[in-house]
Each structure stands twice: as C-alpha cells, then as structure tokens.
C-alpha cells in the first residue's frame, strides 16, 4: 500500500507546484478519498494475487519465514512447484504492481522538476524544491529498503540479513515518515537547532 500512497502523494506534490492556484479545486476532498481508496484496493488486489498463487499449491517445503511480515517473495518461496512458473508469476506481478507506482512517481517528478527549472529566482526554486524534499526522502527510504528486502531474500539466504532489511522496511521506515514530514515545521526546525547547539 505504501507504494501507491507515495504515488498519490507525488501527484499531490505535482498539483501543488505546477498548478498552485486551482490546487484546492483539483485536490478536493472527494478526489482525495477516491485516491486513497484506490490505493487500498490496488494493494489488497496485489496481496490476494500472491496469496492465491501460493494457496493454489498445497505442498510446501519445510521452511521458516525469517520475516516479521510475510512478504510475497517469502510466501511464494514456500510453494513447492516449478521454479520457472513461480519466478514468472513473481516477475509479472512485480512488474505490474512495481512499475505502475514508480512510473507515476517519475512522471510527477519529471513535471515538477521541469516546472521548477522555469522559475526565474533561486529563492523560488529553493522554496518549490523544499516543498517536495521530504516526500523525495521518504520515497528513497521506502524503495531503498524495499529493494534491500527483496534482493536480500533473492540473493542471500542468510536469515539474519533478511530480518535486518525486513525490520528496516516494515518498522523503521513507517516510524521515520512522520519525523521526516515534521522537519518542514518551523517550530521543529528551531527545536532541533537548539538541541544541536546544546549538544555541541
């Protein structure tokens, strides 16, 4: 669900920077509720596809999932059937459900960057970029840890490495989201500067 919500938030950033005057008209409450519900339904459909693939086959290996949450790659690795079919199913679902959110984020930021580059003053460019800076950092954190989880489980069979990336992906990233977005608040910035000056 996180990838779809990040795509919706990227669209919100695009409307805020590229169409600031009609922002409240475009991003009305009805559209916001619709986008959140669509991301929820999209994510539920993705999880059910993985579960149906795994539950279709009733014979499983003796394998322990070294993950706090059953990631689709971990669930499908339990299935005892042709690895070619299993990998094909994982790549098709991953391409559809991974490619669409990334495409939405990239297209939004392509339009945002081209719009920022047309701003004549450097102060205006900085203000526009600082608006989407926190979202970009959350996107990098989310996709960085997601790639770590899936690459660690695919390349290395070490349960310890998979567990570390799983904790980062499922626990640390959601906990850092509110902190990253609160850094845009001036009071939080002032408090952190005072805290930093006292510690040094």
Can you tell me the distance from the alpha carbon of 86 to that of 43, in angstroms, rounded to the nearest whole number?
A: 20
Can you tell me the distance from the alpha carbon of 128 to that of 118, in angstroms, rounded to the nearest whole number?
A: 11
Cα-based distances in Å from 2 to 9, 20, 43, 44, 87: 10, 25, 9, 12, 23
- What is the pTM assigned to this prediction? 0.72
Q: Is the pLDDT of residue 47 over 80?
A: no
What is the model's pLDDT at position 58?
A: 54
Mean pLDDT, all residues of the chain: 75
pLDDT tens-digit series, residues 2-46: 778 888 888 988 998 888 889 889 989 999 899 889 888 887 887
Name every residue whose Cβ is closer than 8 Å to that of residue 192 and which is 6 or more positions away in sequence. Answer: 183
Q: Around Cβ 136, how many Cβ atoms within 10 Å?
A: 16
The residue with tokens 């990233």 is: 173
**Average pLDDT value for residue range 57-81:** 58
Query: Rounded to 5 degrees, what are φ and ψ at 157?
Result: -100, 20
Q: Which two tokens stand for residue 24?
A: 């409240």
Assess contact for 149 and 71: CB atoms under 8 A. Answer: yes
3-state helix, strand, coil in the chain (%, to 5): 80, 0, 20
What is the model's pLDDT at position 76?
A: 63
Reported as a pLDDT band with limits 50, 70 and 90, residue 1 is low
Q: What percent of the chain has pLDDT over 90?
A: 6
What is the model's pLDDT at position 31?
A: 92
- Top pLDDT among 179 and 41 is at 41
């Amino acid at each position: 669900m996180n990838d779809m919500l990040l795509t919706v938030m990227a669209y919100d950033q695009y409307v805020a920077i590229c169409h600031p005057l009609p922002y409240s008209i475009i991003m009305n409450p009805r559209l916001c509720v619709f986008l959140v519900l669509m991301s929820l339904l999209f994510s539920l459909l993705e999880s059910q596809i993985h579960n149906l693939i795994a539950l279709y086959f009733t014979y499983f290996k003796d394998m322990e999932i070294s993950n706090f949450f059953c990631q689709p790659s971990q669930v499908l690795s339990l299935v005892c059937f042709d690895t070619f079919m299993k990998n094909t199913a994982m790549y098709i679902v991953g391409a559809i459900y991974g490619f669409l959110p990334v495409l939405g984020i990239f297209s939004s930021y392509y339009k945002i960057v081209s719009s920022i580059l047309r701003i004549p003053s450097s102060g205006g460019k900085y203000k526009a970029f600082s608006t989407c800076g926190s979202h970009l950092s959350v996107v990098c954190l989310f996709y960085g840890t997601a790639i770590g989880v899936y690459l660690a489980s695919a390349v290395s069979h070490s349960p310890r490495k998979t567990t570390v990336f799983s904790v980062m992906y499922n626990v640390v990233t959601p906990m850092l989201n509110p902190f990253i977005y609160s850094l845009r608040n001036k009071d939080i910035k002032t408090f952190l500067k005072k805290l930093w000056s006292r510690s040094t």
